[in-house]
Chains A and B, each alone.
Chain A
Amino acid sequence: GQQVMQIPQYQHVQEGEDFTTYCNSSTTLSNIQWYKQRPGGHPVFLIQLVKSGEVKKQKRLTFQFGEAKKNSSLHITATQTTDVGTYFCAGPPSSGTYKYIFGTGTRLKVLA
């Protein structure tokens, strides 16, 4: 079945440093979503990318969908302590199902 892996699993950065998490699917995705889950909280929707090669920005966050629609990345510029949490990607395969499979997640810790 479809698998969605994220690397790294954990990342500790100093406040002000940049951070990137990568999402890789075993199958082509029809689209990809990104969520943020704060410690003890629930996932919160950040963004959805639909087109091959699409790039979207939200303030310090930059999201990219790969040309082959099998991978994606989230880059945070100049991290802040409010960026702490686990970032998940999620996407359905392009083979006809609308079931979103969540990735393994990247846990970000920002040191002040």
Chain B
Amino acid sequence: EAGVAQSPRYKIIEKRQSVAFWCNPISGHATLYWYQQILGQGPKLLIQFQNNGVVDDSQLPKDRFSAERLKGVDSTLKIQPAKLEDSAVYLCASSLDASWWGDFGGYTFGSGTRLTVV
């Protein structure tokens, strides 16, 4: 099966510019996540979608970050305006329905987008 697709792979922007990341999850996966991973740290959840509805966005800096998942499939994450501290790898992941606590097979992560803000 095809994995989680993300683009672009790398992005360098100046502070105060805007940037957008795209994610196409595994077909049939209801749950989609955006994580931010700063170098040397564990992934931090930014937003979680169940189909096209937001389940959790409590750690999303909503003054500058926005995300949407149209038709419950693809998703985009946008940063506007970017700050130096936004430099990180942005990981998209998907999973089968994670709205229960049984063994759902874990998350499948994409290769990520490495963002550098200068």
Residues in chain A within 8 A of chain B (CB atoms): 4, 30-31, 33, 35, 41-48, 50, 88, 90, 92, 94, 97-105
Determine if B99 and A102 form an interchain contact, defined as CB atoms under 8 angstroms apart.
no
Compute how far the CA of A50 lies from the CA of B104 in the bound complex, rounded to whole angstroms.
11
Contact of A42 among B58, B103, B110 (CB under 8 A): B110
- 10 more A-B residue pairs beyond the given contacts A30-B101, A45-B108, A47-B106, with a C-beta to C-beta distance below 8 A: A42-B111, A48-B106, A50-B103, A88-B42, A92-B101, A98-B55, A98-B99, A100-B45, A102-B42, A102-B44
Query: Is B56 an interface residue when CB atoms closer than 8 A count as contact?
Result: yes
Compute how far the CA of A104 lies from the CA of B99 in the bound complex, rounded to whole angstroms.
24
Specify the main secondary structure of chain B where it touches its partner: loop
Chain B contacts of A94 at CB under 8 A?
101
Listed from nearest, the 8 A-B pairs whose CB atoms lie closest are A45-B106, A102-B42, A42-B109, A30-B101, A102-B43, A48-B103, A105-B42, A99-B56
Compute how far the CA of A8 lies from the CA of B99 in the bound complex, rounded to whole angstroms.
32
A43 touching B109 in the complex, CB below 8 Å, given contacts A101-B45, A104-B42, A105-B42: yes
Chain A contacts of B43 at CB under 8 A?
43, 88, 102
Query: Is B112 an interface residue when CB atoms closer than 8 A count as contact?
Result: yes
A99 touching B48 in the complex, CB below 8 Å, given contacts A30-B101, A43-B43, A50-B101: yes
Residue of B nearest to A98 (CB): B98
Chain A contacts of B100 at CB under 8 A?
98
Determine if A42 and B45 form an interchain contact, defined as CB atoms under 8 angstroms apart.
no
Chain A contacts of B98 at CB under 8 A?
98, 100
Residue of A nearest to B89 (CB): A42
